[in-house]
Structure 1
């Protein structure tokens, strides 16, 4: 052993000899106290962990869906699911009577329909169309009483269902005609409001009246014959009736001069309203179909804007 190592051993022995080791009983009691202290700390930590776990699980269960209901026994009718409603204090209001139902019968289906638009009872000026500037004869229009259809062997289609009616005379000129010329023709333009369902019946009666009166004596002398016939028509309002009247041309003396003077009449239904455009000519002129169709569309559009 080296001298330096021997010196270290002597120094260590001197340090340990001065310290007195505790007795075995004292060491055992000290160890027991430390063990009990560690056990208490462990128990407290475990208790805190358990308490936190229980509180968290209660929050999760409270937020989650309720437990599934126990299925009813076989043969038991399953009640309909109902939405939960907050409990309220009992009220003394009289319960509304319920509709009785015979056992075994089905309850009637309830259908709701939107209220229909009210049919007007008056006809304003704005319900009548306005001629374009190119067709304006400069004479204005004149409202007044008078027939709204040609004579059809005495028939009066739909007269008993009329609620209100207005009619006017509207002279016009064809596009391009000189401004100083007489009008090219004249419209008898009328608007009639019928009772509910009466407008459709009036147009059906008008068709029947034209078919039943293919010809009749014309007014004036010498005697002549005016002929009527239905023409195919579509694309105007809810439905329309178009027919023509033909009368022999006459000279200045009233005698037939060859050919026919032809005029068109169109009745258009929009709901319970019927507008009639009757082209009557001017000094033996006949109806120009393109002009007549264009003004018919203007008449229908004016009715639509009014009813909307």
Structure 2
């Protein structure tokens, strides 16, 4: 063997002698620690994976409607069971009503004046009735026959009594005769009205309308004073006049020798309310004439306009 090979073996022997060989138990502990580190890393990876699957699954259910979505940022936290929540102050009734806009009102056709709710009081209720509150007949219907003589403002309805009379502030009435447009000058009037205007205490005028309606219903027929005939009363469709209205008729056969055979004498009465004021148009006829609905409707519209112009 050459000298170089002998020197190489000698160097390897010296190096091996200088290295300390680890004991078997040390080697096993090192191997166990490495195994635990690998297991912990695997468990963490599995947890992250499962967390992602759970979040993804929840989002899928929420979009499907099967589970609720998480509350948005700023939303109130859920209230635990058994705890009474404290109400959050909201807008007042008046502000809520104001935000919803004006309430539709019922007025006479062609009128721009908003209706006053039933029972509501006006800001400045009137206390006296001027002449301009009374309507004026159309020029073609005028006869010039008018009177301010006293008398009832309604026909008797089985001796009805009206509690609203105790709330009257002021009342004025007049009688006025009218003719048909085609009637020549100096002819007999076609009919006449008992026209009354009554101011009631604030918020009480609707009582008068309600009581009159009830009185008509409670008196379907009756005999008038100094009249042997039987008169029948019934409510009619009142139409839209003022804030609310009542229309009824009184009907009876003509007395013998008066009117056409089988014909009826008809009287019409319309009462309407505007704010705290009630106006009554009682068509009383003229020598056994019969009331015409079209004429009464036209004059009722003129009466509503006069009241609305007065009250502003």
Deviation of 1:178 (Å)? 1.1
CA separation in 1, counterparts of 2:265 and 2:234? 14
* Equivalent residue for 1:277, pick from 274, 277, 281: 281
Structure 2 residue 197 is matched with structure 1 residue 197: no
Deviation of 1:248 (Å)? 1.8
The corresponding residue for 2:264 is: 260
Deviation of 1:197 (Å)? 1.9
The corresponding residue for 2:247 is: 242
CA separation in 2, counterparts of 1:236 and 1:255? 32
Are residues 116 and 168 of structure 1, via their aligned partners in 2, closer, same or farther at CA, if it must alter by over 3 Å? Answer: closer
Whether the aligned pair in 2 keeps the contact of 1:188 and 1:279 (CA below 8 Å) is: yes
* Equivalent residue for 1:218, pick from 218, 224, 228: 224
Q: Which has the higher contact order (CA 8 A, sep 6+)?
A: 2
CA separation in 2, counterparts of 1:105 and 1:284? 70
Q: Give the 3-state SS of the residue equivalent to 1:262 in structure 2.
A: strand
CA separation in 1, counterparts of 2:122 and 2:251? 41
* 1:35-82 Cα deviation digits (max 9, x unpaired): xxxxxxxxxxxxxxxxxxxxxxxxxxxxxxxxxxxxxxxxxxxxxxxx
CA separation in 2, counterparts of 1:116 and 1:151? 31
* Equivalent residue for 2:185, pick from 179, 196, 211: 179
* 1:176-211 Cα deviation digits (max 9, x unpaired): 111121111010000011112211111111111000
In the TM superposition, 1:1-308 aligns within 5 A as 116-139=122-145, 141-157=146-162, 158-221=164-227, 223-251=228-256, 258-308=262-312
Are residues 108 and 213 of structure 1, via their aligned partners in 2, closer, same or farther at CA, if it must alter by over 3 Å? Answer: same
Whether the aligned pair in 2 keeps the contact of 1:173 and 1:184 (CA below 8 Å) is: yes
Deviation of 1:235 (Å)? 1.4
Q: Give the 3-state SS of the residue equivalent to 2:215 in structure 1.
A: helix
Q: Give the 3-state SS of the residue equivalent to 1:137 in structure 2.
A: strand
Deviation of 1:143 (Å)? 1.5
CA separation in 1, counterparts of 2:180 and 2:161? 32
Taking structure 2 as the reference length, what is the TM-score of the superposition? 0.60
Gapped regions of structure 2 (runs ≥ 5): 1-85, 99-120
Deviation of 1:107 (Å)? 8.0
Gapped regions of structure 1 (runs ≥ 5): 1-103
Larger Rg: 1
Deviation of 1:109 (Å)? 7.0
Runs of 4+ more than 2 Å apart: 104-117, 218-221, 254-259
